[in-house]
């Protein structure tokens, strides 16, 4: 499985949980802490992100940046 990761800007997250319900891996969750605005922000709680971009697409705050491992390069290495 391709691995990815998300970086969530906790300062502007408003904890609307739309990314949590859209994550197919159930890898996101609300943090126990609050941010400066008083919202419980979202963070990556499971290390199973595939970089599918679903959470970033529905994020109303545009707070999510998605990274993914490069696909073709990895496959060619495995074949050798």
What part of residues 7-26 is at the interface with another protein (CB under 8 A)?
Answer: 7, 9, 11-12, 14-18, 21-22
Closest distance of CB 11 from another protein, Å: 5
CA-nearest of 33, 32, 31, 39 to 12 is: 39
Residue that has been written with the tokens 């990274």 in this structure: 67
Rule CB under 8 A: choose which of 31, 33, 62, 77 binds another protein: 62
- Binding of residue 69 to another protein (CB under 8 A): yes
State the Cα–Cα distance between residues 32 and 1, nearest whole angstrom: 29
- Binding of residue 27 to another protein (CB under 8 A): no
């Amino acid at each position: 499985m391709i691995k990815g990761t998300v970086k969530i800007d906790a300062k502007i997250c408003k904890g609307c949980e739309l990314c949590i319900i859209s994550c197919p891996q159930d890898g996101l969750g609300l943090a126990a802490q609050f941010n400066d605005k008083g919202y419980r922000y979202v963070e990556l709680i499971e290390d199973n992100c595939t970089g599918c971009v679903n959470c970033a697409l529905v994020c109303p705050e545009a707070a999510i940046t998605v990274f993914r491992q490069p696909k073709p390069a990895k496959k060619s290495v495995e074949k050798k």
